[in-house]
Amino acid sequence: MANFAEVVRAVRQVFRTGRTKTYEWRYAQLSAMLKMMDENKDRMTAALKKDLNKNKIESMIMEFNLCRNELILSMNNLKDWMKPEKVKKELMNIMDKCYIKREPYGLVLVLGAWNYPVQLTLLPMIAAIAAGNCVIVKPSEMSEQTAILLEEIVPKYFDNECVKVINGGIPETTGLLQERFDYIFYTGNNVVAKIVMAAAAKNLTPVTLELGGKSPVYVDRNCDLTTVARRLVWGKFLNAGQTCIAPDYVMCQSDVQDPLIEEIRKVLIDFFTDKPEQSESFGRIVNGRHFKRVEKLLTGVKVAVGGVTREEERYISPTIVRDCKLSDAVMQDEIFGPILPFYVVRDDKEAVDFINDREKPLAMYVFSRNQRIIDNFVNNTSSGGMCINDCIMHASMPSMPFGGVGHSGMGAYHGKFSYDTFSHRRSVMQRDLKMESVNALRYPPYTEKKFGIIKWLTKKSVKRTGIMSFFPLVLCGAVLAFFLKAVGVQARWPSLGER
């Protein structure tokens, strides 16, 4: 095992040289990653096939293209994102230079996940580099072939003093967490998240935690159930259900359950044929331990569709479970596998109460044509994200933040939100050393007259548009000169020749 203390020390020293803060370095590293992806596309999809039996097209859409699009977005907008952000100023500060400067945190640790091992490792890595940080990446050892590939190819394309990949399992993760980082980004489950957060707390290191939870679905009776079934089946059985925002369970009224299950049965045949174990479009459970965990959830439940398991292949068929009870294991923890339980409720109000009685999920899905019902879920529940009349698709929008709340995580990323996540927003005010008499209002001796002037000035806001931008400056000078004279302070204005 590597000497992590020495690795961290060396990378931190490089960061302190300022190398990673330049636009040129950031853009060069992003360009290198784009080249890495294009030149290793086939190797990445082959590794994903070995790890999770992912179809090449699914890998391209859900892993490769998402990363590539994020790269291009970051490269195209990097100069603008790096510019100082102007802020509104009050009358008292009209002559000051005030702005927000986004700065890199320093040394970032990215702990990737196994279910989308390319996407969930490279997306935060892209953002950390774009923001000017040094990065140590720890891929998940559970997607072994992908982790080995990243360990091999990343050093060939990146600045090796600033970007490093450390492979391994629990000992390596534990060793890394004992070191001090400036930011930690973790994707995974909330059990490990608590360990990550506890380690970060020792050094008050900020974290982003991308977790999961039981993402609920509510299906109203006034829907086109054929369309609902197609969108549900795609969202649930993508990557064999091993998706953090996969629909975890369906709530509906009793008269909706059977018709919807029948439509799902038809769609499953349409998508995966009547022999899904032979379908090139259906994945596998990542390893034997997770296979046994998911298989155990089928004990004692009413299987309506599927329920076939083959341990030697790590295969669990697309499975629908009907009439679930709260005591069923499948309704307790996040499933993270190809099982979709149905839970019958009286109406949308009971469904909202059911959701609110549990931990906040990463995603929530509502299928309805009734705006009152939609608004009930939007306004009276909480989740990391929400998608109405579809599944998963909200996570594909780079203009919207992706992240959890409560037990489903903290912090968000994607698009510009990723850049902001890995940047410290530093407030900067630059004042002139001249015209010191203008500041006399805040200096002792304190008087009621001075206080009254300060209150009046701080209530005024300045709106500057076009040629009128000069008016507040003139007004400010006149007002300050008048009031300073009124309180007995002699204002000395600089002559035209002063610098």
Residues with a catalytic annotation lie at 210, 244
| Interacting residues of 18 by C-beta distance below 8 A, sequence separation 6+ | none
Q: What is the DSSP letter of 204?
A: T
Alpha helix stretches (DSSP H) within 131-223: 144-157, 170-177, 190-201
CA-CA distance, 220 to 449, in Å (whole number)?
A: 65
The set of long-range contacts for 53-56, using a CB threshold of 8 Å and a minimum separation of 24, is 53/240, 53/282, 53/283, 53/284, 54/239, 54/283, 55/280, 55/281, 55/283
CA-CA distance, 462 to 86, in Å (whole number)?
A: 14
Report the residue count for the chain: 499
CA-CA distance, 324 to 303, in Å (whole number)?
A: 10
Q: Which amino acid is at 277?
A: E
* CA 431 to mean position of chain CA atoms: 37
DSSP-assigned states of every residue in 96-122 = SEEEEEEEE-SEEEEE--SSSTTHHHH
Structure tokens at 28: 């060069």
Q: Which amino acid is at 204?
A: L
